[in-house]
Structure 1
Amino acid sequence: MVIIPWFSFFFLKKETIRHYTPVGFFTLFLMALYHELAYTQKWWKIAHPLVPQTIFYEAFAIGPFFIGTIWIFHLTYGKFWLYLIANVITDAIFMFLMSPIFVKIGFYKWVNQTPFERYIHFIIIAVVIYGYHTWQRKGMKIEGVANQKY
Structure 2
Amino acid sequence: MKNTKFLILLMFILPWLSLPLIGGKTVKRFLPGALFMCVYLMFEGMLAEKRKWWWFPYKIKPNVLGEMPLIFGPFLVGSLWVLKFTFGKFNLYLLVNIIVDAIFTYLGLDLFKKIGYVTLVRLSKFQLSLLFLVKSFFMYGFQLLYEKLFRKSLYYR
Question: Given the two structures, how large is their TM-score scaled by the length of structure 1?
Answer: 0.91
Is the 8 Å Cα contact of residues 36 and 56 (structure 1) preserved in structure 2?
no
The residue that corresponds to 2:88 in the other structure is 78
User: C-alpha offsets along residues 28-84 of structure 1, whole Å, 9 cap, x if unaligned?
Assistant: 011111111111111111111323232341110011110011100000000000000
The residue that corresponds to 1:25 in the other structure is 35
The residue that corresponds to 1:99 in the other structure is 109
| In structure 1, C-alpha distance between the alignment counterparts of 2:59 and 2:41, rounded to whole Å | 15
Backbone CA RMSD of aligned residues = 1.4
The reply on whether 1:43 has 2:53 as its aligned counterpart is yes
Structure 1: 4+ residue segments shifted above 3 A:
none
5+ residue gaps, structure 1: 146-150
Could you tell me which amino acid in structure 1 is paired with residue 34 of structure 2?
G
| In structure 2, C-alpha distance between the alignment counterparts of 1:63 and 1:97, rounded to whole Å | 18
The reply on whether 1:3 has 2:10 as its aligned counterpart is no
Is the 8 Å Cα contact of residues 109 and 119 (structure 2) preserved in structure 1?
no
Is the 8 Å Cα contact of residues 2 and 60 (structure 1) preserved in structure 2?
yes
Is the 8 Å Cα contact of residues 50 and 57 (structure 1) preserved in structure 2?
no
The residue that corresponds to 1:138 in the other structure is 148
Over the matched positions of the two proteins, sequence identity in percent amounts to 30
Given the alignment, which residue of 108, 111, 133 partners 1:123?
Answer: 133
Is the 8 Å Cα contact of residues 47 and 108 (structure 1) preserved in structure 2?
yes
Is the 8 Å Cα contact of residues 49 and 57 (structure 1) preserved in structure 2?
no
The residue that corresponds to 1:148 in the other structure is none
RCO higher in 1 or 2 (8 Å CA, sep ≥ 6)?
Answer: 2
The alpha carbon displacement at 1:89 in A equals 0.3
Is the deviation greater in 104-113 or in 92-101? 104-113
Structure having the higher helix fraction is: 2
Given the alignment, which residue of 66, 71, 78 partners 1:61?
Answer: 71
The residue that corresponds to 2:123 in the other structure is 113
Question: Given the two structures, how large is their TM-score scaled by the length of structure 2?
Answer: 0.87
Could you tell me which amino acid in structure 1 is paired with residue 29 of structure 2?
H
Equivalenced residues, count: 145
Could you tell me which amino acid in structure 2 is paired with residue 3 of structure 1?
I
